[in-house]
Amino acid sequence: MFAVVLVLGVSAIIFFLINSIGSPIDMLMADRPGVTDQAIAALKAYYHLDRGVIVRYFIWLGSVARGDFGTSITYNQPVGPMLVGFGLETLKLQLPAIFLGLALAVGIAAVAAVRQYSRVDFTVMTGALLGHSLPGFLVGILLILIFAYWLGVFPSYGAYSTLTPLWGSTFADGLWHMVLPLTMLTLFNTATLTLLLRANMVDVLRHDYIMAARASGLPERRVVFGHALRNAIIPVLTYLGILFGLMLATAPVTETVFTWPGAGLLYITAIQQLDYPVIMGETLVVTVMLVLFTLLTDIAYVLIDPRIRLE
């Protein structure tokens, strides 16, 4: 229930802010020759700009509820499908980055935690701290510099080649373009998750039940993965929700660095062009997704940890 209020609240804020700047039509049309006043009036009516702000808000909400997000002013296309299309491109990067990050973190953290205080552990810790503190976009820029410009191995922008796809296959071409941005995202994810997981594992490995598992004769590998890791990963899994939110929020930056045609880049363009249907639509969708994720995370926590049960 509260979530709904939340979403409405956010969209309301954005809506009012946008509308307070005056009619976008006026601004866009201001310098164009040959546009008659009648045309402007007609456009305004079409976009309901002749009504009051609050009314407009509810009109918008109503159409959203029916799945109609309006039409983009800049692209002149329905916003809904646009969001889906661009959104998928964004997810193409974000989702693998998270899962890859998790998989790598599990391997690395397990090794480091078992050998606590060893040289391996310190290397891992330092590496993870660095990877976590390096601003993402800097990593991206460096990657482009080194691998795209100097070494020329990977493309420096876009999701697909404009002319001939790599090896004649669009699939391979897409993958090839994904490598650099994916590396950048995965680096941060792996580092952050490793820090968290390793700390948890070090903590868990100190517990009596780990010693008891060893005393029962179970081999070390099973103790580490079946018992220690299973316990240590619980808070990490719930952190995945937060991480995903973080990734989503910084998508505009990522996509600007790599000129990746995703929802983030769309958003920036929309803001610059004052394309408010897109802005509104995207803000709403993103907020909804974040709220959903937070809820899912809470639910996941209850499901995974048998100690917590709904009252």
Partner 1 sequence: MSGADADQIAAALPRRRLPRGPGNLRQGWRRLRRNRTGMLGLLLVVLVVVVAVLAPVIAPYAPNDQSAMLHFGAQAPPSGAHWFGTDRSGYDVLTRTLYGAPTALVVGLGAMLIASFIGVAVGGIAGYLGGAADELLMRGTEFFLVIPVFIVILAVVRLFGVVVIGTPLEGVPFLNLGAIIVLLGLFGWPPLARLARAEFLRLKQMEFVEAARCIGARPRDIIFRHILPNALPSLVVVAALGIGGAILAEAMISFLGFGDPKTVSWGQSLYFNYQVLKVAPWAVLAPGLAIFLTVLGFNLLADGLSDAFNPRLKQ
Partner 2 sequence: MTPLLDVRGLAVQFPVRGSDVRAIDGVDFAVGRQETLGLVGESGSGKTLSSLAVLRLVPPPARIVAGSVGFEGNDLLRLDAARMGALRGRRIAMVFQNPAYSLNPILSVGAQLGEILGWHEKLPRRRAAERVADMLHLVGITDAVRRMRQFPHELSGGMKQRVCIARALLCHPALVLADEPTTNLDATIQAQILELLQELKQRLGSSMILVTHDMGVVARMADRIGVMYAGTVCETADAATIFRAPLHPYTRALLESMPRADRSYRGHRVLQVIPGRIPNLADPPPGCRFHPRCPEAGADCRRLRPLPLEVAPGHVVSCLRRGSDGVAE
Does residue number 135 form part of the binding site for partner 1 (CB under 8 A)? Answer: yes
Cα–Cα distances (Å) from 54 to 8, 10, 39, 66, 281, in that order, read 13, 15, 24, 19, 17
The helix, strand and coil proportions of the chain, stated in percent and rounded to the nearest 5, come to 75, 0, 25
Among residues 4, 12, 17, 53, the one that binds partner 1 under rule CB under 8 A: 17
Chosen from partner 2, partner 1, none, partner binding at 271 (C-beta under 5 to 8 Å by type): partner 1
How far is 106 from 198, CA to CA, in rounded Å?
9
User: Any idea of the CA torsion for 223, 227, 230, 231, to the nearest 10 degrees?
Assistant: -130
Quote the CA–CA distance of 1 and 36 in Å, as a whole number: 47
Closest by Cα among 264, 297, 298, 296 to 283 = 264
In the complex, least distance from residue 252 CB atom to partner 2, rounded to whole angstroms: 39
- Residues 124/226, Cβ–Cβ less than 8 Å: no
Task: Determine the Cα–Cα distance for residues 121 and 76; give it in Å rounded to an integer.
Answer: 55
Q: Give the three-state DSSP class for 56.
A: helix
Binding mask 189-218 for partner 2 (x = CB under 8 A): ------------------xxx-xxxxxxxx
Q: How far is C-alpha 286 from the geometric centre of its chain's CA atoms?
A: 9
3-class DSSP state of 78 = strand
Interacting residue with partner 2 among 105, 109, 227, 284 (CB under 8 A): 227
Q: Which of 72, 90, 192, 287 binds partner 1 (CB under 8 A)?
A: 287
Are 242 and 256 in contact by the 8 Å Cβ rule? The answer is no
Minimum distance of partner 1 from residue 298's CB (angstroms): 12
Q: Which of 28, 234, 274, 300 binds partner 1 (CB under 8 A)?
A: 274
Select 45 or 130, whichever has its Cβ closest to partner 1. Answer: 130
Rule CB under 8 A: is residue 145 a binding residue for partner 1?
yes
Q: Which is nearer to partner 1, 11 or 190 (CB)?
A: 11
Nearer to partner 2, 51 or 207 (CB): 207
Check binding of 10 to partner 1 (CB under 8 A).
Answer: yes
Q: Which of 21, 230, 295, 302 touches partner 2 by CB under 8 A?
A: 230
User: Least distance in Å: CB of 56 to partner 2?
Assistant: 52
Asked whether position 134 contacts partner 1 by CB under 8 A, the answer is yes
Which parts of 244-273 interact with partner 1 (CB under 8 A)? 245, 248-250, 252-253, 256, 267-268, 271-272
Looking at the Cβ atoms of 30 and 310, the one nearer to partner 2 is 310
Contacts 24+ apart (CB under 8 A), 207-213: 207/231
Residues contributing to the site for partner 1 (CB under 8 A): 2, 6, 9-10, 13-14, 17-18, 20-22, 27, 133-135, 137-138, 141-142, 144-145, 149, 206, 245, 248-250, 252-253, 256, 267-268, 271-272, 274, 279, 282-283, 286-287, 290-291, 294
